[in-house]
Structure 1
């Protein structure tokens, strides 16, 4: 199958500077609904916790800045930039910020969004 020059590329701004955590909880913001995936940014202050929860879609979680303890299936995983984790749908997990942290969640939805719906300043489409 040959490649194509048809399609869209989204170029994102510096996401570690996009949001501030709330005083009493992390700030979660969906930044894009795109074909195949949604992106969510979570901004944590040190010590903030996203209590045990799940996603209806498979997800990839990656730390863009900082360090979090990621608890899944009674195991604590130290997530830092460069160590993403993939979760199947409905798998319970919890996130605790060990320092100020920016976390990006890629929700693998399989949905089609043409054009992509964006919710943050500075996203450029090519």
Structure 2
């Protein structure tokens, strides 16, 4: 069963990303904030040293680093990112991420236009 999103699409809501981010030792914690038929927004909390190995996404990905520091690898080239940075990944681009320090990020995935 899918996680219940924190935001109901039928109601306005203001949230604090800092208050809603969860961290756990030696873990990556994710929380779905919003889900629509064409997009999903997920808040991640990475413990220092945690990583997601290389993988592609079939969707557009917009990633905002909220706190801390990380390294995204795109085509095997490392890119250090810090709080306030924004990264866009087109569909099917293989990428990996590693927490160089504890960090949080907001990931918005949107389905490609099929028209």
TM-score (normalised: structure 2): 0.77
Would you identify which runs of 4 or more consecutive aligned residues in structure 1 move more than 2 Å?
8-12, 19-25, 34-37
8 Å Cα contact 2:71/2:80 also seen in 1 = yes
Moved more, 31-40 or 55-64: 31-40
Q: Give 1:39 deviation, angstroms.
A: 0.4
CA 11–35 in structure 1, closer or farther in 2 if over 3 Å, else same: farther
Structure 2 unmatched ranges of 5 or more: 1-9
8 Å Cα contact 1:35/1:110 also seen in 2 = no
CA 13–28 in structure 1, closer or farther in 2 if over 3 Å, else same: same
2:32 counterpart SS class: strand
Tell me the alpha carbon deviations over residues 21-69 of structure 1, each in whole angstroms, 9 at most, x when there is no partner: 3444311222101365310111001111112122220101110011110
Over aligned residues, Cα RMSD in angstroms? 2.2
Matched, 1:97 2:89: no
Structure 1 unmatched ranges of 5 or more: 1-7, 112-126
1:98 counterpart SS class: coil
